[in-house]
Amino acid sequence: MRFLYNAKPLIIAFVAISAIAGLIYWGMQPNKTVERPSVPSPQYQAKDEVVIYFSKAAGSQIQTEPVVRPVPQASQKNLLDFALFKLLEGPTDEESVHGFFSEIPKGTRLLAVQDLQDQIRVNLSKQFVSGGGSNSIQQRLAELTQTILSVEPKRPVYLDVEGKELKVLGGEGLIVEEPINQGVQ
């Protein structure tokens, strides 16, 4: 029994020395960091795909969510036109199954995209301003604005309906601040 009392301090010293040696060894090892893969922002996308924003329910809220569409070789020079055509077509059947929908009224057409030196003008048909309450109108403008911003983040983009500058949208008089891609990120 007396032998065990004398061994106890030796065991404690051994454990303490082992722990210190382990910490020193671990501290001398090179740091191994795991880097997250970078996810490209939609506004800096490759020319072989575009990001389009549709509405999607998130709990009791409606948000705009991105979907990626491949761009055919022939459309790569006109990414904004292509993105807007795809936005106005609405979600695919598969996207609809996953909860995506569009607040942009069916039948809305892209009449023109004018690429001027200092600005871009997007001209939509009158269906864009028809129907819906204030939430629907805000959501359709968000879908359009974020889709435009994903393709054209720098130059100012102005919105026309049937060739006339859109200043107020909907019966409640939502003021459309232009350029529509200014200050949105």
The domain limits of the chain are 43-175
151-174 burial, b for 16+ CB within 10 Å, e for fewer?
bbeeeebbbebeeeebeebbeeee
Residue 73 confidence class, pLDDT cut points 50, 70, 90: confident
Q: How far is CA 172 from CA 26, 87, 137, 180, in A?
A: 66, 24, 9, 19
Does 7 have pLDDT greater than 90? no
Q: What is the pLDDT of residues 16-45, one digit of tens each?
A: 677 676 656 555 554 433 232 333 344 445
Is this prediction's pTM over 0.85? no
Q: pLDDT value at position 185?
A: 43
Mean pLDDT confidence for 75-87: 92
Six-digit token pair at 104?
């942009």
Mean pLDDT of the chain: 81
Q: What is the pLDDT of residues 146-176, one digit of tens each?
A: 999 999 888 898 999 999 998 887 777 788 8
